[in-house]
Structure 1
Amino acid sequence: MIFGQIRVLISKMSTLRVSLVPDAVQGMKQLDREKFQRTIAVPVLHLCSDKVAKALSVCKPYILKLENFKPVQNLCDDDKFDRRIYLNPLKVECWTDIPEEVRQSFSSCDVSEDNFISRQIQLKYENYSYEDIFKAVLPEGEETVSGFSHIGHIIHLNLRDHLLEYKTLIGTVLVDKIKTCRTVVNKCNIIDNTYRNFKMEVIAGDEDFFVTVKESNCHFQFDFSKVYWNPRLCNEHDRVLKTLKPNDILFDVFCGVGPFAVPAARKKCRVFANDLNPDSFKWLNHNAEHNNIKKTFFKSYNLDGKDFICNIFKKFLIDCCKKEEVIHPHAKIYVTMNLPALAVEFLKYFNGLLDDRELFDKFHLDIIVYVYCFAPGDDPVEIAKKMVIDNIGRDVTSLILNVFGVRNVSPTKEMMKVTLKLTKEILFGVSDQDCNEPPSKKKCVESATEN
């Protein structure tokens, strides 16, 4: 799907369309559109217009499918027939190449070998898809362009080293072939763990990084070169948003430009959204305003994740216990932590976060945490569970409600979502067995890894 996310496995393309591209283009590094011209003989069925619909239903697997080419055309130079259907020359060369059962079906619409002729046509660059071109041009036997993301008018690639010498051609072809594409960028390094963005190089089109994206019935605008946005996560955003109900509370610890926070506030949840990246913070507030989010439902912060948990989240819980914050009696509190490279390391700040023992019996909050992580290995579910337990610093096995595979990052790494119930025993740092003991007064460790 062009809008949102495109994932194209070009290595699995049909050999049909590749073989129609001239061999001369193999290894081309600078795009020469003229070299894609080729004249080929194509089998054609001549028939009357009233027989076309039925004939098409019979020969559908054998129709010639190319870009900017109509497989059914008017026929003006024949007194008997007024339509022609172009067939795939790599599947059909002569009448007997058509299976017997298909030929018998043709007879019911008065089509026989007498209707079958050959005709010369000229193919051009405009007739080939970008899949056809990449398969024909790029090195045979090597990994090719395996997938890319579409963010507004920008196509984002992550080219392997052996494809870098073809990058200009790849970018130009994508601008040519995808109507909504004006800019093609290639990722130059891994995501920066502090601000969740990466360096990129424009390899074709305009150097314009300002994009508008629609997701979860909201419009998001941002500078793609300075913030993090992954269209592959749109389904995950929707999954979480569906669990939220009006009057619920959302603390989004690493909110980015607001894919969780803005739609949640639009649903009339109270949202506390935080991101350390000042550009993300800027566009977060822009998107809240752009989507007409009322300030009564939305507060934003430009803090480190540790400070957001240990100050903003903590104060809210204390105020709830003291009745200084009033929430709906059936409301739940949700915490989203979508920084998969580091988020689990921030779980330790929940363990013993509250140190006022007098508030323990006044705590009656239902809190659910969604923490995301990368789980490398053969058993990502168990690996994700262990990461959560190790980082929160206590056995929370019974409180892990679900472990869900969000997406495959590489052949050996999965992005996982762990759903954890955050109890008052965790927050006050006491054991389930002995809630009468005073809680451990743990302070946030200043040397922790920064968001």
Structure 2
Amino acid sequence: MLLVAKLKVPGLTITATRLRHYFRNMDAKELQPPSSVRGMQELQRKEFRKSIQVPRLRVPESQVQRVMPLVKKFLLKMEHMHPVRVVDTSREILLHPTPVKDWESLPTEDLEKQEVTAENFCFAELELGYENWSANEILKSVLPTEEEGLTSYSRIGHIAHLNLRDHLLPYKQLIGQVLRDKLPNCRTVVNKASSIDNTYRNFQLELICGEPEYQVETKENGVPFEFDFSKVYWNPRLSTEHERIVKLLQTGDVLYDVFAGVGPFSVPAAKKRCNVLANDLNPVSFHWLQHNAKRNKCLSQIKMFNKDGRQFILEELREDLLKRLLTTDTSSYATHITMNLPAMAVEFLDAFRGLYKAEELSKLPENVSYPNVHVYSFAKGENTKELVRKLVECNLGASLDDNLLQGISFVRNVAPNKDMYRVSFRLSQHLLTTPKEIELSRKRCSEDEQGAAAKVKCV
């Protein structure tokens, strides 16, 4: 049954279906941590103790089951606190002080029918401590109000991964301890120590709390992965994007994954019984790619390589794609190429220009299906979507007209005025047989395109 009850809060009428989630503890001053903890840099848990007065009902044990449905939406819910307590032979029900100011704030008529009266209602002292607030509530009460707080972090297995702004660095030890205390199964808290500027594109990490254990197990879209987070690239914020691409694939399709990492595209594709060629330059990523393919029992569907991305395109992809174009019915399956290295993947697009000699593809039927490319890139500035398109066209050495361009999709915001996109387009026989230099002799990148290229370089 759907219960609808009116709260006696000025100007508000809220149904029971929303009331359970409406009253936020941090909106009630009495339920906030003590104001004295503001600015704390070294965690002192005992400083969070406070005593407050909260409303409560005390009812006989025999009446609890009948009373609870009437007051359920008013319960005080905090961390490590049960709102219903045993007191002698009765039960004490703790109520939230925002909606419950007095006895008249409750559904008194219904309660009185259950022989619960104003005599059962009172305000009494309640002791609160560090354990009663969530990580977000603790940090909100400690960190400076004039600066942006800790807006987000990533969980990768037992690791919490932060990217702290400069004004939060004095609080990093406290932040690490709070997250380790409060997040389930969190044993290690690390901060991104520098930009991703090394050859293998992995994070440089600073341990700020916990154990220096970086080998993790995690699941993404139901698929288990294992890897050393300190030596490979993994971003859980890309799980939705990985899922989008994998959902495009059908059994029997072909996937060439140029920058495969530990396998977030390749392993789920192989599990769907696609034919996968996966590559990564980082030998540690390559190791975990092999491990994850074996762990997910899809080794028969995937071939793995430890090469530079350009070398992989010019050798493995070229040979395998040509064989399929010449010997299979391309209308019976789709071919996709993923290039997820957004800081520099576009710089590899020219490898597709002149990949084949004209005579190698001259006997193919006109309706042959060429691969779909999904290349990822950052863009920084205004009108980032148009900047990304120009950058792809400049590096590919060709305009993406309506026959080739399949879409430009926003993936996520990386930083203020810096976005990540996926540009999907179809290769053609002309692109695959015409070297970029010849095309550019007729059409050079415009000044605008060159400017766009400069703007989207990864900082």
TM-score, L = length of structure 2:
0.83
Q: Deviations over 1:347-373 (max 9, x none)?
A: 122122212424233262331111111
Q: Which amino acid aligns with 2:178?
A: V
**Separation in structure 1 between the aligned mates of residue 371 and residue 267 of structure 2, nearest angstrom:** 20
Match of 2:389 in 1: 385
| Partner AA of 1:194 in structure 2 | T
The corresponding residue for 2:345 is 343
Structure 1 residues 250 and 384 mapped into 2: Cα distance closer, same or farther (>3 Å)?
Answer: same
Identity of aligned residues (%): 43
The whole-number CA distance in structure 1 between the counterparts of 2:30 and 2:421 is 37
Asked if structure 2 preserves the Cα contact closer than 8 Å seen for 1:352 and 1:428, the reply is: yes
2:82 pairs, out of 70, 74, 82, with 70
Q: RMSD across aligned C-alpha pairs, in angstroms?
A: 2.8
For residue 263 of structure 2, what is the aligned residue in structure 1?
A: 258
SS class of match (1:14): helix
Secondary structure in 1 matching 2:419: strand
Q: Deviations over 1:250-309 (max 9, x none)?
A: 1000100111111111211111111111111111111112222233x2111111111111
Q: Find the counterpart in structure 2 of residue 204 from structure 1.
A: 209
Partner of 1:310: 314
1:51 CA displacement = 5.3
Deviations 1:218-258 (A, max 9, x none): 32111100000011111111111111112111100010011
The aligned counterpart of 1:448 is none
Any gaps of 5 or more consecutive residues in structure 2? 1-23, 442-457
- Residues 402-430 of structure 1: per-residue CA shift (max 9 Å, x gap): 22212221231221112111121221229
Cα shift at 1:380: 3.4
**Amino acid aligned to 2:323:** D
CA distance, structure 1, for counterparts of residue 273 and residue 65 of structure 2: 52
Say if 2:254 and 2:336, in contact at 8 Å, map to a contact too.
yes
Q: Which residue of 1 aligns with 2:177?
A: 172
* Partner of residue 366, structure 1: 370
Kept after mapping to 2: 8 A contact 1:18/1:132: no
Unaligned runs of 5+ in 1: 1-11, 432-438, 443-450
2:226 matched residue in structure 1: 221
Moved more, 58-67 or 403-412: 58-67
Q: Separation in 2 of the partners of 1:236 and 1:198?
A: 20
Q: Retained in 2: the 8 A contact 1:18–1:135?
A: no
Whole-angstrom CA distance in 1 between matches of 2:325 and 2:272: 25
User: Structure 2 CA distance, aligned partners of 1:146 and 1:17?
Assistant: 22
1:273-422 aligned at under 5 Å gives the runs 273-295=278-300, 297-323=301-327, 326=328, 330-362=332-364, 364-398=368-402, 399-422=404-427
Give 1:46's match in structure 2, choosing from 54, 58, 77: 58
Q: Distance in 2 between matches of 1:64 and 1:331?
A: 57
Give the equivalent residue in structure 1 for 2:36: 24
The one-character-per-residue Cα deviations of 1:294-334 (angstroms, maximum 9, x if unpaired) are 33x211111111111122111223323443xx477511111
How far apart are 1:162 and its partner, in Å?
A: 1.3
* CA displacement 1:363-409 (0-9 Å, x = unmatched): 62331111111123443333332222222111112111122212221
1:240–1:105 Cα change, 3 Å: farther
Determine if contact 2:25/2:31 at 8 Å carries over to the other structure: no
CA distance in 1 between partners of 2:25 and 2:347 (Å): 42
Distance in 1 of aligned mates of 2:119 and 2:319 = 85
Farther-moved stretch of structure 1 (265-274 vs 55-64): 55-64
Paired residue for 1:268? 273
**How far apart, CA to CA, are the structure 2 residues paired with 1:280 and 1:422?**
28
Shift of 1:46: 2.3
What secondary structure sits across from 1:361 in the alignment? coil
What TM-score results when the alignment is normalised by the length of structure 1? 0.85
Give deviations 1:31-87, integer Å, cap 9, x for gaps.
11111121211110223456545654554453211111011222325xxxx322211
The CA deviation at 1:135 is 1.1
Match of 1:129 among 131, 134, 159: 134
Matched residues in 2 for 1:34 and 1:130: separation? Answer: 16
- Letter of the structure 2 residue corresponding to residue 94 of structure 1: D
Report SS of the residue matched to 1:172.
helix
Contact conserved, 1:374 with 1:415, CA < 8 A, in 2?
A: yes
Alignment-derived partner of residue 93 in structure 2: 85
Q: Flag the 1:409–1:440 CA change in 2: closer, same or farther, 3 A.
A: closer
Question: How many residue pairs were aligned?
Answer: 417
Distance (whole Å) between structure 1 residues aligned to residue 213 and residue 29 of structure 2 = 33
Alignment of 1:85-124 (within 5 A): 85-96=93-104, 98=105, 102-103=107-108, 106=111, 109-124=114-129
SS of 1:427's partner is helix
SS in 2 for 1:142: coil
Amino acid at match of 2:248: T
Question: What does the per-residue CA deviation read over 1:155-196, in whole Å, with 9 as the maximum and x for residues that have no partner?
Answer: 000111111111111111111111210000011111235311
Superposition deviation, residue 340 in structure 1: 1.1
- With 148-157 and 358-367 compared, the bigger mean Cα shift is at 358-367
